[in-house]
Amino acid sequence: MQRRYNPGNVVTAMVTPFDKEGDIDFNQVEKLANHLANNGSDAILVAGTTGESPTLTHDEELELLSAVKSAVGSKAQIIMGAGSNCTRTAVKMSKKVEKAGADAILSVVPYYNKPSQEGMVAHFSAIAESTNLPIMLYNIPGRTGVNMEPETIAKIASKYENIFAVKQSNANLDLVTEIIQEAPEGFVLYSGDDSLTLPMMSLGAVGVVSVASHIIGNEIQAMIKAFNSGNVKEAIALQHKYYPVFKKIFMAPNPVPVKAALAKIGIINEDVRLPLIQLSEAQKKEFFATVDYVLQGVTL
């Protein structure tokens, strides 16, 4: 199968580092982006949900894009979160992101206004017609309040060649099968949940848009490569080994736990913007009791 666009197997949804005053810390942005590019990330997703995009201004998002591009150069593809629940805003941002030099964009199903399936088709059609960039759809009903159905995904992907993938953050594995069966040749699916990477790949997914890859990017790459090379037992063993990390990293609202992990190994501060708050001391004790064995092996 010839993929329409290939950002690799591991796309890390990068957190946005802040300083104590809540401003973006661009020195930490550069440090983190290089850490990701050097430790298993084929591509970096900037200003996604994990990047606390609901609290970022569009100007801040474009500054982040510029900083990450400058930091990693050609070491990793850069995908930019450019979605909105306002179609006009998503179109406008997609044009700006293309001009700013992103390699691709991630565009989420409109949240809060809960459009119909035909409304989704119209929304993503407007975006696809506004840019030449490859577009990854983002289906996350837990946040948007509505699921984009497999036939809707297939309809959009069949209509526009630049819509190359879907990030599927829906735990219903039957939907993975249906999307892959119905989508056109070259369109691919990424798991939107670390713990479901291997299960979804067993049904035809090509990789993951990951949070855990901030700290175990090389290990997730090893799991995917083992599976793709036919060493399924090794892949399953790695899935079981890192499953506690996959789950515990979401013990509090994302990206609070992963920022705490990154702070512990000295890459960024753990600061988040309200309405998110940092882990309590009791939560940190519980969290690090699970993930410390992983953090001891992280190289800076």
Active site residues: 138, 167
What is the Cα Rg of the chain in Å?
18
How far is it, in rounded angstroms, from Cα 115 to Cα 45?
25
Structure tokens at 179: 């999307």
H or E element at residue 239: helix 232-248
The length of the chain in residues reads 300
φ/ψ (deg, to 5) at 81: -70, 115
DSSP state of 274: T
DSSP-derived pairing of the beta strands 163-168 and 188-191: parallel
- Please report, as a single letter, which amino acid is at residue 45: L
Angle at Cα 55 formed by Cα 189 and Cα 273, nearest 5°?
Answer: 110
